[in-house]
Structure 1
Amino acid sequence: MKLLIKTFHGLEEVLAEELREIGAKDVTPIKRAVTCSGDKELMYKANLHLRTALRVLVPIFTFKAENEDELYKNIYDYDWSAYINEDSTFAIDAVAFSDFFKHSKFLALKSKDAIVDQFREKSGKRPSINIEKPDLQINIHVSHDQFTVSLDSSVESLHRRGYRDPNHKAPLNEALAAGMLKIAKWHKDIPLLDPMCGTGTILMEAAMMACDMPANYKRKHFGFMSWGDFDKALWEKVYSEAESKIRYPKVNIVGGDNNAQAVDMAKTASLDFRLNRQIRIVRSNMEDHMPTAPRGMMITNPPYGERLTKDNIDEFYKKIGTHLKRNYTDWQAWIITSNFDALKQVGLRPDSKYTLYNGPLECKYVAYDMFEGEMKAFKKKINRTKKRLDS
């Protein structure tokens, strides 16, 4: 079975490593996705475990088309009765990068007509459309004239872990937060601090990682559960094996925010997932947070400037840099932001820099190694380089 797993730009290599860890073969990163091969069990594991994935797609056929008639015929000629019947529901998600097909909604509508007409002409009945919870979610991707039709085994995006109020739009996507932790090479033995934690996305992802809790441990339904070949016994085996590995170790994960409502939401999320002993959250200003250990890692997502004037945001980022220099010796600080001008105001030279996307927003994810004195910093970097060469 071939799989195509979607992710954010910049997280392809991270996702590829996750896939290798669960046993995927022929793992190949591509733009905003990773392809691999595996069996049904791997598909189940991918949906349950992958922290940086958005959707797990199963390609079923490809074709070429340069106009709507060719599109209709190719979709119509495929035997859809292998996946749905007249009493089923389905939905189509289309993505187009083509001079021939510029409107994804039209592409989805034409494909829907072809599937419906196939059933109607065979039996006089037709399956229905259900956008919210379809029995079958179909993904159609077109690049120029090349179409790939896939089944969406996830249906709902995998970044929705279940610890966030669905009515609350948080500034940081869960899959991106998990990717940030993995890029920073954070692990449970490193004290972690987020002094601008908002509703606690980075903290929750870190605690789940520390406890070996699968990314979608709380999810009750995946798209593949509505497929005719759903193997309930195999799914229960995959889930039980994952559940048996969950542990609740003692870790140093601390967060703070000056927004009382956000702090309350973060605390509620940690309670719902039984991670309240792993995460400590307080209401505080960024500059009031002090290191929680002699060495550690700060990962944070400061305000981008939507609710602040340019002068205020520049001054705030200067304050971040000053606070790091004065108080965070021997810590590593990671900052993600889409406000590139404000980032310059931190006044520190990044030791690492990545380009990531938070939805449509291009972001810089940078690391600052905070060492006391230039010589000390130089020596530590030399030692780290030697360790990498020796390993």
Structure 2
Amino acid sequence: MANNYKMIAKTMFGFESVLANELLQLGAMDVKEGTRMVSFVGDKGFMYKANLCLRTALKILKPYKSFKVHNEKELYDQIYALPWEDFMGVDDSLAIDTAVHSEVFTHSQYVALKVKDAIVDRFREKFGRRPNVDLKHPTLRINIHIEKQFCNVSFDSSGSSLHKRGYRSSTNIAPINEVLAAGMLLLSGWKGQCDFLDPMCGSGTIPIEAAMIACNIPPNINRKEFAFEKWKDWDEALFEKIEESVMKKITDFQYSIKGYDKAPSAVEKATENVKNANLSDFIKIERKDFFHSEKETEGYLHMVFNPPYGERLEIDVEKFFESIGDTLKQNYHGTHAWFIATNVDSIKSVGLRASRKIKLFNGPLEGRLLKYVIYEGSKKNRD
């Protein structure tokens, strides 16, 4: 227990309970949901495991210090007083991410500058030299969060956002964030229990995330690096042991996972990304227009997709969503269809009653994840 400490997993709005459940299944202790975050307790090995295995986390932060600050001098002095030389040397580099919700501190970049000044001034005073700033691949990425008069200093163990899985080399015009895709799939109840279809797959993110869930593949197994690999206490042997143990839990998949797109360029990109993710045996990408397609499987079909909203792709939104409803109703009996929509009129245009509506955000756009149950024949049962 002595080696355990509190950590924070950052996520998107609406995925807090999904992430909390993921953490519990991984073996985290003292799991508590917040807004766009979940706190938990674990050791260094669990921090490595969380970065590798969590599908709906954006960052894993390791809190270091919390203190009150009433003005910028107090902020500078408190940061200056911390023993930064315990975590990095003069030849290393740093980056500072800030989030501020305060009447005193109103500009996050200014806060980042003051924090950077305090750290490098301490090094200059002690060693006559100072570490450099490296925004892309720093030795130490420091997270500063000021809420009113409280300043929380954390170390970012992830580095670049965990949605950057490492498999997506090609994207289409409006790619879905990988964490959003995984969260939608988990909210939809997808566990690999039947055939799966994304009828508007774009660059293939949703089918790839669906296959990784179905086969229990760690989502970040293809990532090139994590920030903790540059920390002074980096334990490569422990990381390799964790990696080996999670890889042993990968399972096979008995059903089909398909992605359709009518654009040849999207099909090409999706196929390439599936190959990058080493999932070509599990996912079939086809050039097909959903509106001229029909259900190809006998049993129950699970469908999750991210239709264009007319924000970055030019479409007649109402007509487009009306066609989605018509195609589902006429050609996809025995299907549970889930998709995200950001426009109230588009939801009305579907012409079907959604059995669930979950509030989510796609980037800055507020939307709803909608569930439509398309029954076999004339069944009137409600799920």
**Of 295-304 and 241-250, the range deviating more from structure 2:** 241-250
Match of 1:297 among 295, 299, 302: 302
Q: What are the ranges of 5 or more consecutive residues in structure 1 without an aligned counterpart?
A: 382-391
SS in 1 for 2:361: strand
Amino acid at match of 1:70: E
**Of 150-159 and 295-304, the range deviating more from structure 2:** 295-304
Whether 1:29 and 2:33 are equivalent positions in the alignment is yes
Match of 1:313 among 312, 317, 342: 317
When residues 316 and 169 of structure 1 are mapped into structure 2, their CA distance, relative to the original with a 3 A threshold, is: closer
When residues 166 and 121 of structure 1 are mapped into structure 2, their CA distance, relative to the original with a 3 A threshold, is: farther
Query: Do 1:305 and 1:339's aligned partners in 2 also have CA atoms closer than 8 Å?
Result: no
User: What do the CA deviations read for 1:288-311 (whole angstroms, capped 9, x no partner)?
Assistant: 22113232111111110125667x
User: What do the CA deviations read for 1:205-255 (whole angstroms, capped 9, x no partner)?
Assistant: 011112221011011311111111111111110011122222343321111
**Of 321-330 and 124-133, the range deviating more from structure 2:** 321-330
Query: Do 1:356 and 1:363's aligned partners in 2 also have CA atoms closer than 8 Å?
Result: yes
Corresponding position of 2:380? 377
Match of 1:260 among 261, 264, 277: 264
User: Which has the larger share of helix?
Assistant: 1
Whether 1:343 and 2:347 are equivalent positions in the alignment is yes
SS in 1 for 2:118: helix
Whether 1:48 and 2:48 are equivalent positions in the alignment is no
After superposition, residues 150-299 of structure 1 pair within 5 angstroms as 150-165=154-169, 170-294=174-298, 295-299=300-304
Amino acid at match of 1:299: V
Q: What are the ranges of 5 or more consecutive residues in structure 2 without an aligned counterpart?
A: none
Corresponding position of 2:142? 138
Match of 2:95 among 82, 91, 106: 91
- Which whole-Å CA distance do the structure 1 matches of 2:314 and 2:95 have between them? 43
Corresponding position of 1:67? 71
Query: Do 2:194 and 2:302's aligned partners in 1 also have CA atoms closer than 8 Å?
Result: yes
Q: For residue 343 of structure 1, report the CA deviation from its aligned partner.
A: 1.7
When residues 108 and 307 of structure 1 are mapped into structure 2, their CA distance, relative to the original with a 3 A threshold, is: closer
- Which whole-Å CA distance do the structure 2 matches of 1:264 and 1:18 have between them? 32
Amino acid at match of 1:305: G
CA RMSD of aligned residues (A): 1.6
- Which whole-Å CA distance do the structure 2 matches of 1:177 and 1:230 have between them? 31
Match of 1:79 among 73, 79, 83: 83
User: What do the CA deviations read for 1:30-70 (whole angstroms, capped 9, x no partner)?
Assistant: 00000000111110000000000000000000011121111
- Which whole-Å CA distance do the structure 2 matches of 1:360 and 1:282 have between them? 31
SS in 2 for 1:186: coil
SS in 1 for 2:357: strand
Corresponding position of 2:7? 3
Query: Do 1:6 and 1:55's aligned partners in 2 also have CA atoms closer than 8 Å?
Result: yes
SS in 2 for 1:377: coil
Whether 1:149 and 2:188 are equivalent positions in the alignment is no
Query: Do 1:64 and 1:146's aligned partners in 2 also have CA atoms closer than 8 Å?
Result: yes
When residues 48 and 307 of structure 1 are mapped into structure 2, their CA distance, relative to the original with a 3 A threshold, is: closer
Amino acid at match of 2:282: Q
Match of 1:329 among 326, 333, 338: 333
User: What do the CA deviations read for 1:107-148 (whole angstroms, capped 9, x no partner)?
Assistant: 100000000001111111111110010000000011111111
- Which whole-Å CA distance do the structure 2 matches of 1:27 and 1:158 have between them? 20
- Which whole-Å CA distance do the structure 1 matches of 2:171 and 2:214 have between them? 27
- Which whole-Å CA distance do the structure 2 matches of 1:372 and 1:223 have between them? 50
Query: Do 2:334 and 2:374's aligned partners in 1 also have CA atoms closer than 8 Å?
Result: yes
- Which whole-Å CA distance do the structure 1 matches of 2:90 and 2:104 have between them? 31
- Which whole-Å CA distance do the structure 2 matches of 1:308 and 1:220 have between them? 31
TM-score (norm 2): 0.95
Q: For residue 366 of structure 1, report the CA deviation from its aligned partner.
A: 0.7
Amino acid at match of 2:228: F
Q: For residue 340 of structure 1, report the CA deviation from its aligned partner.
A: 2.4
Corresponding position of 1:18? 22
Match of 1:364 among 362, 365, 368: 368
The percentage of aligned residue pairs carrying the same residue is 46
**Of 273-282 and 177-186, the range deviating more from structure 2:** 273-282
Amino acid at match of 2:71: N
- Which whole-Å CA distance do the structure 1 matches of 2:290 and 2:311 have between them? 18
Amino acid at match of 1:78: L
List 4+ stretches of structure 1 deviating above 3 A.
166-170, 307-310
Kindly tell me the number of residue pairs found equivalent between the two proteins.
378
TM-score (norm 1): 0.93
Corresponding position of 1:389? none
Query: Do 1:248 and 1:278's aligned partners in 2 also have CA atoms closer than 8 Å?
Result: no
When residues 277 and 335 of structure 1 are mapped into structure 2, their CA distance, relative to the original with a 3 A threshold, is: same
- Which whole-Å CA distance do the structure 1 matches of 2:296 and 2:303 have between them? 10
Q: For residue 357 of structure 1, report the CA deviation from its aligned partner.
A: 1.4
